[in-house]
Amino acid sequence: QREMTILSLFTQPNLYDTTQYLSVFFFSPRNVRSVLVSLSSRPTDAPVAELHDLFCKKLQQCCVLFDFLDCVADLKGKEIKRAALNELVESVATSRGVLIEPLYPEAIKMISVNIFRTLPPSENPEFDPEEDEPALEASWPHLQLVYEFFLRFLESPDFQPSLAKRYVDQKFVLQLLELFDSEDPREREYLKTILHRVYGKLLGLRAYIRKQINNIFLRFIYETERFNGVAELLEILGSIINGFALPLKSEHKQFLVRVLIPLHTAKSLSIFHAQLAYCVVQFMEKDATVTEHIIRGLLRYWPKTCTQKEVMFLGEIEEILDVIEPSQFIRVQEPLFKQIAACISSPHFQVAERALYFWNNEYILSLIEENCQVILPLVFGTLYRVSKEHWNQTIISLIYNVLKTFMEMNSKLFDDLTASYKVEKQNDVKQKNKVILKYIKLKNVPELGVTCKYEDIITRNTSICNVI
């Protein structure tokens, strides 16, 4: 393989030092080594043009890559590059007038050479972000400084978007987004901040960034179910959604319905649920008319077997109800409280408890009170039955508090529902008894005898009743 030689002039390790170095780097995929040669000193009051030349040469020098998998290989060269990167970071952060037009391609080239790479496959195919330690990037001592330089570069008062957009183009952004799949959370944190700055400063790339994030999420939902940077991308989207102009474009509403809501089906929801819920609530606060789409979408994807996800869904529903408008609440109250009633009857106490906590929220309680005539009939039967049957005493106590609250809201309706519930239960018992009698006759149970009365059959065959 062809060996590249980069000759870089270190006028000073620090712009204010008087020591000068000549660093020669020989780079190949399998071999990286460096040689230091001391040069004569140089005055610290160098002309600005020479400082620009020095800055450019240091950018070129930092394009050399090192093998960090070998901890002891070329330590001197690694230290030279680390020092150069530190100087670049300090210079772009503290000096004015450094970022002139010729430096833009050199800066983007140095950044690209260092950060864009093929991410290695996960060492653990069954990697669980909640249980397992992430694989950290071996070259982080240099990579962190490159990211820090990129961030300072974007945040510099001298940064000119009109110049940067020639080099930070769609291809660059696509490669940047692919890096969000890195297992190293430190890298994803830098990428999150950097992409947010790019979105804010390079207006022409905004639609493209949203489109590519959309594609990443769709691939994650329907194909791979694996992507490490979902939480970070959602965090960026939270800020983007907050800045949407009103009225919302059709494109944005489609993103909510076709991407954000289906994201709730992911097995790894717990990792990014907080950021996802924030995005959903941001959409609601922007445009109340999307509320019904959100609630019905969540009910459609409501988890059937995972109690942990049910608790998360209930938490998100409460966040939504905290900001819902009364007019929108009326549109979704019936299907919503049918689902809440189903959660109250869950044998898993955390699900039932989380659903019952809704009555501790003052705003939600006020909505329930305004619509008591609709909501109480939906949940009363469940509350009454679970109060008699649930195994957990805490749940029973919470249900008694909810029933007491309903009784104070509308005592007449409460009494009517209590009476009708008792009549309904009596009718159910009679119906079950008839079924039991038919069952016994069909099975011709010999030990009962043919002279048994109906009441005797019912009392002596409770076990059969339980089976049925």
What's the rounded mean pLDDT across residues 125-131?
67
Q: How far apart are CA 64 and CA 81, in angstroms?
A: 8
Residue 446 confidence class, pLDDT cut points 50, 70, 90:
low
Q: How confident is the model at residue 468 (pLDDT cuts 50, 70, 90)?
A: very low
Please tell me the predicted confidence (pLDDT) of residue 355: 97
Q: What is the mean pLDDT of the chain?
A: 84
Measured CA to CA, the distance from residue 188 to residue 127 in angstroms comes to 17
What is the C-alpha radius of gyration for the chain, rounded to an integer number of angstroms?
33
Strands across the sheet containing 4-10: 4-10, 20-28, 31-39
| pLDDT value of residue 104 | 95
Q: Is the pLDDT of residue 13 over 60?
A: no
Is a pLDDT exceeding 50 seen at residue 27? no
* Tokens matching residue 188: 């994803």
Amino acid letter for position 288: A
Answer whether residue 316 shows pLDDT above 90: yes
pLDDT band at residue 379 using 50, 70 and 90 as cut-offs: very high
Interval 241-253 mean pLDDT: 92
107-127 mean pLDDT: 87
Instruction: Give the up-direction half-sphere exposure of residue 58: CA atoms within 13 A in the CB hemisphere.
Output: 30
pLDDT exceeds cutoff 70 at 447: no
In terms of Cβ atoms closer than 10 Å to its own Cβ (0-12, 13-18, 19+), residue 141 is: middle
Residue 89 to residues 142, 144, 187, 373, Cα–Cα distance (Å) = 12, 11, 17, 65
Amino acid sitting at position 252: H
- Statement: residue 189 has pLDDT above 80: yes
Question: Which amino acid, one-letter code, is at 88?
Answer: L
Higher pLDDT, 439 or 149: 149
Percent of the chain residues past pLDDT 70, beyond the cut: 82
For residue 42, the model assigns a pLDDT of 30
Both structure tokens of 330: 């009326």
What pLDDT shows up at residue 423? 84
DSSP symbols for 245-276: -SSPPHHHHHHIIIIITGGGG-TTHHHHHHHH
Q: What is the pLDDT of residue 445?
A: 54
239 confidence band (pLDDT: 50, 70, 90): very high
- Three-class SS of residue 34? strand
Using 50, 70 and 90 to split pLDDT, how confident is the model at 48? low
DSSP at 35: E
Mean pLDDT value of segment 191-212: 96
> Which pLDDT score, from 0 to 100, does residue 46 have?
55
pLDDT band at 443 (very low <50, low <70, confident <90, very high): low
Specify the pLDDT at position 178: 96
Global pTM?
A: 0.82
Q: Is a pLDDT exceeding 90 seen at residue 28?
A: no
62-71, 135-144, 272-281, 420-429: range with highest mean pLDDT: 272-281
Helices (H) and strands (E) in the chain, counts: 21, 3
**pLDDT tens across 215-235, in order?**
999 999 999 889 999 999 999
Question: Is the pLDDT assigned to residue 395 strictly greater than 90?
Answer: yes
* pLDDT at residue 10 greater than cutoff 60: no
Task: Quote the pLDDT of residue 191.
Answer: 98
Average pLDDT, integer, range 52-75: 87
Residues in CB range of 382: below 8 A, 6 or more apart: 341, 342, 344, 345
Phi and psi, residue 39, nearest 5°: -115, 175
Q: Tell me, what's the pLDDT at 73? A: 80
Of 25-29, 154-158, 287-291, 315-319, minimum mean pLDDT range: 25-29
Q: Which two tokens stand for residue 256?
A: 């909510």
